[in-house]
Amino acid sequence: MVRYIFASHYRMADGLKETVEFLTSVNENVYAISAYVTENYNIEEEIKKVFDKFSKEDKVVVMTDVLAGSVNQKFIPYVNENIFLITGINAPLAMELVLLPEECINKEQLSNSVKLARETIQFVNEISSDANEEDE
């Protein structure tokens, strides 16, 4: 089984989870960890609680907000051949990942998905300017 974890500083993970569920109708095996929302928050305990729900055979795709951030760093010890960690997540990539068939959850496919997702980040002013110049 494939499990998906959105994890972020504050509430981004909750929002991303809700957005992905709304746009894809995928809502099984999707978890959100919104770190540091409460005082005395312990992210290690929260991560452990979520991983305790999984079996060793499960594939887990963890998607975090910031590469050098504490949230991402706390997941690094969990990475193995079945647990994949992707950071700098955005909605298009998150949607693509939750829609991938289970057999496509592997290093090669996930790496390719990340590369393709980089193309979704665009400075629209430049795109609009280019289109307007072509119209003239």
Count of domains observed in the chain:
1
* Residue-number span of the structural domain to which 96 is assigned: 2-135
Mean pLDDT confidence for 8-35: 97
Q: What is the CATH number of the domain that holds 86?
A: 3.40.50.510
Q: Tell me if 66 sits within 8 A of 9, measured CB to CB.
A: yes
pTM of the complete model: 0.91
pLDDT at 122: 92
The pair of three-digit structure tokens given for residue 12, joined into one six-digit string: 């981004």
Averaged pLDDT score across all residues of the chain: 94
Give the three-class secondary structure for 136.
coil
**What order of strands is seen across the sheet that includes strand 2-9?**
30-35, 2-9, 59-64, 83-87
With cut-offs at 50, 70 and 90, classify the pLDDT of residue 71.
Answer: very high
- What's the Cα-to-Cα distance from 95 to each of 18, 43, 63, 76, rounded to whole Å? 11, 25, 11, 22
Cβ neighbourhood burial of 25 (10 Å; 0-12, 13-18, 19+): exposed
pLDDT at 28: 95
Q: Tell me if 37 sits within 8 A of 15, measured CB to CB.
A: no
pLDDT at 135: 58
pLDDT at 129: 66
Report whether pLDDT(10) > 70. Answer: yes
DSSP 73-126: HHHGGG-BTTEEEEES--HHHHHHHHHS-GGG-SHHHHHHHHHHHGGG---HHH
Q: Tell me if 83 sits within 8 A of 63, measured CB to CB.
A: no
Which tens digits make up the pLDDT trace of 86-121?
999 999 999 999 999 999 999 999 999 999 999 999
